[in-house]
Amino acid sequence: MIKPDKPANEAERLQALYRYRILDSDREKSFDDLVVIAKAVCGTSMAAVTLIDVERQWFKSIQGIDAAENLRSESMCGHAILQPQEIMVVEDALQDIRFHDNPVVTGDPHVRFYAGAPLVSSDGLPLGTLCVFDAHPQQLAPDKAEALAALSRQVMLVMELRRFALDIQNHMLERDDYERLLAEYHDVLLAQNADLTEQSRTDALTGLPNRRALAVALAEAVATADGQLRQTCVALVDIDHFKQINDFQGHATGDRVLAELGVLLRSHFGGRGMAARYGGEEFVALMPDVDLRTAELQCEFLRMAVADLPLGFPVTISIGVAQYQPGENTDQTLARADAALYRAKASGRNRVELAP
């Protein structure tokens, strides 16, 4: 086992950590929620917010195992903070010279996969990590790495807000300090709300806009700025026999199929139009300024591309396409696309059907 080195600025790093007055504090739901999201996004069985003290790694929040702290010398996060601008990924700890004989690898919880996104303070000092880990080797896809990094920034924003709240309590009687801290709190809250608003409109697994963002985009796509109607088509895309993929290949493989389809949809419709996850294994493609026959051709290209995905087993999709008609609302357009999708599935699947 190779013990982690200490950063050259270790004294400054510890001073920054202690300013947050968070070590040995109680569990807080705001941290627990972010850990739950990180675990779900990355598809691991364990995740934690960890802070690196002088000789220990302390868990502010942890999911999947029961632990309060462990030795810094045995922590993977102690290595991760040495490169604060990067996510450290260990695909198989048994194959890594640093960790193959580490007690957390050879014993409980038998960590094989680890990914840690450093928690970096506003002055650039690494305090700990938001990490995900599992008892089975695996890889971290680029979109999941981006999501983990985004969530680590959210952890730091929560830590900043928590520190500001403590400072306000300590300086409540000093008006000048109170007003300054309140302004800082307001700025941080605005930044956090902007980030959370973006996340609320994005599907974490595929990186595509979600149903909420689609509703806004569809309403804007059917009319120009001066109220003139536009020729707009929508396509509902459904993965054929997706339940069987989950049942026989496993949910991790099902998630990989969803993520790969998300990449294809983004490349086919992201340049001019929009693709979104509608829910479950259903997706929607929005095609403004496109007639029905052109939309059908684009969807045929997508259908053939999905069939050629190198997943190791066959995957196909069924698609229903509808063109927005004057006088109907967007829900009615989607309903006609859904009816066409139903006909595609009823006719044998792996096909494109047009709404009349």
Which residues are identified as catalytic? Answer: 281
Nearest to 50 by CA among 142, 145, 135, 159: 159
Q: CA 61, CA 154: separation in Å to the nearest integer?
A: 14
Pairing between β-strand 352-354 and β-strand 317-323 as defined by DSSP bridges: parallel
Q: CA 132, CA 113: separation in Å to the nearest integer?
A: 8
Tokens of 203: 């599907």
Q: Please say whether the beta carbons of 154 and 35 come within 8 A.
A: no
Which residues sit opposite 128 in a β-bridge?
51, 119
Nearest to 264 by CA among 200, 312, 310: 310
Show the beta-strand stretches assigned E in the chain.
46-52, 56-63, 69-71, 88-90, 113-120, 126-134, 232-239, 274-279, 282-288, 317-323, 352-354
Distances (CA, A) of 312 to 137, 245, 260, 282, 308: 19, 12, 13, 22, 10
Count of beta carbons in the 10 Å neighbourhood of residue 294? 13
Q: CA 33, CA 17: separation in Å to the nearest integer?
A: 22
Q: CA 175, CA 303: separation in Å to the nearest integer?
A: 64
Q: Is 250 left (phi over 0), alpha (psi -120 to 50) or beta?
A: left
Distances (CA, A) of 107 to 225, 337, 338: 63, 53, 51
Pairing between β-strand 56-63 and β-strand 317-323 as defined by DSSP bridges: unpaired
Question: What radius of gyration do the chain's Cα atoms show?
Answer: 24
